[in-house]
Amino acid sequence: SVVFLLPVVLCAPSPQDRYDGHKVLEIFGKTEEDFRKLLELQLQFGLDMWKTPKHVNDSAHAMVAPEHLTNVLEQLNSLNLGVSTLIDDVQQLIHSSTKDNKKQARAIFPGGSGHDHGRYYRHQAILDFMTLVANDANKSPNVAATLETIGTSGQGRSLKLIKIFSTVNTGTPKRKIFIDGGIHAREWISPASVKYLIEQFAYNPGNIADIYTLLARYEIYLIPVMNPDGYEFSHTNTRMWRKNRRTNTGSTCIGVDLNRNFPYQWNPANGGSTNPCQDTYSGTGPASEVETQVLVNYLTGAGFDAYITIHSYGQYWLYPWGFTTALPADVADLHAAGQAGVDAIQDYGRLRYTLGSSTNVLYAAAGGSDDFAKGMAGVKYSYTLELRDNGRYGFLLPESEIIPACEELRAGFLAFANAMYNQQ
């Protein structure tokens, strides 16, 4: 018989994407027509929209490759659209935003884990940190932490969760809060901030009274990296990667946008895409992605009081719905508790967060994890937080801003949790 030798396709490691000469432009439109034109430009030149305009008279943030710059600027000019430069050279900023920490004092808390939170970490380092915290916390008399791998990513990375809770018996059963980060790969401040919260809750290095109160009332479940495959890829290859790393059948383009893939009101035509090459590709169907399924299974029927998913950027405190301009019946409760959060952020460091329903203050996008948590998993207080900044650095938030961003998140979260508790 004939022996067929199967051709071995050697997968050369894909080269690291570079962004030399890529600019991020802020583009101002006035009319619906302006934004329709902008959408055409996006498709024509493959612009990476870092920020989509939410209404007329709002601006877009678009990353433009150097080979298209002249054409894009010409077109914008002939369309009479205002334009200014937000980031002059993305590659330079990628370089400086991870190097500027060298000048910073190390962000290590006395009495804490010894881990430096003023830097961005790879996935494995984040998992190691969680193991360390769980071991430490279990030695302490008042706080305990348990680890659980709630599932595995498409490429086999573990989706690891830490539960932090007080061992002091208050006589009443604890309520439960779930916090996740890293659904979108390039939003590095998100896993960093969830990791920071883990440190704060487990060690409370600043002896913050509100943290003791929090743990007397709630068990906190945290998962810093929901999309580890995408997160790693954004470190090793393509800094601006957003989706997971699933192979799409019938397409050479990789990845699904997990925040368009959740099963409640899933609809690619509503702020997502049926095109696997788009950054907002919704997947082949509701919860087609394993990372989505893991979160869906974990939250369903688990009785969480709050679900908070951390993203960046734009400084928003968002509640459902993301699929419609309509508001949930109990919107007043969600708004009031969120208001406590954004007020505390402003008191802490003067930074303003915009509070509102995601469709109304941002844009409609169906299939988000927040809508799923509220609409299907029965979690009353469901929020998407978009952390710093406003576009000066966008996804490339310098390491020197990690701690300030985390501190104001802590202040906002604690005030929110307190307000939520007092509503019940």
Interface pick for ligand ARG out of 259, 278, 357, 360 (rule CB under 6 A): 259
For 102-157, list the strands marked E by DSSP.
Answer: 143-152
Q: For binding to Zn ion (CB under 5 A), which residues are involved?
A: 184, 311
Of the candidates 269, 268, 262, the one whose C-alpha atom is nearest the C-alpha of residue 320 is 262
Query: Which residue lies nearer to ligand ARG by CB, 365 or 409?
Result: 365
Within the chain, how many helices (H) and strands (E) appear? 12, 12
For position 371 contacting ligand ARG by CB under 6 A, the verdict is yes
For position 255 contacting ligand ARG by CB under 6 A, the verdict is no
Query: Which residue lies nearer to ligand ARG by CB, 201 or 383?
Result: 383
For position 394 contacting ligand ARG by CB under 6 A, the verdict is no
- Residues 412, 205: Cα–Cα separation, whole Å: 18
Q: How far is the CB of 51 from Zn ion (least distance, A)?
A: 11
Query: Which residue lies nearer to ligand ARG by CB, 117 or 246?
Result: 246
Half-sphere exposure (CA, 13 Å, Cβ side) for 25? Answer: 24
Q: How far is the CB of 312 from Zn ion (least distance, A)?
A: 7
Q: β-pairing, 158-166 with 82-87? A: unpaired
Q: How far is CA 331 from CA 118, 174, 250, in A?
A: 36, 24, 42
- What residues between 293 and 352 interact with ligand ARG by CB under 6 A? 311, 318, 322
- Residues 287, 260: Cα–Cα separation, whole Å: 9
Lookup result for tokens 């939003």:
187
Looking at 386, 399, 401, 408, which residue is catalytic?
386
- Residues 402, 395: Cα–Cα separation, whole Å: 12
Residue 365 binds which one of Zn ion, ligand ARG, none, with CB within 5 to 8 A depending on kind? ligand ARG
Q: How far is the CB of 157 from ligand ARG (least distance, A)?
A: 21
Query: Which residue lies nearer to ligand ARG by CB, 38 or 183?
Result: 183
For position 282 contacting ligand ARG by CB under 6 A, the verdict is no
386 catalytic per annotation: yes
Of the candidates 78, 20, 18, 24, the one whose C-alpha atom is nearest the C-alpha of residue 47 is 24
Amino acid, single-letter form, for residue 296: V
User: Radius of gyration (Cα) for the chain, nearest Å?
Assistant: 22
For position 365 contacting ligand ARG by CB under 6 A, the verdict is yes
For position 384 contacting ligand ARG by CB under 6 A, the verdict is yes
Q: Which residues bind ligand ARG (CB under 6 A)?
A: 259, 311, 318, 322, 358, 362, 365, 368, 370-371, 384
Active site residues: 386
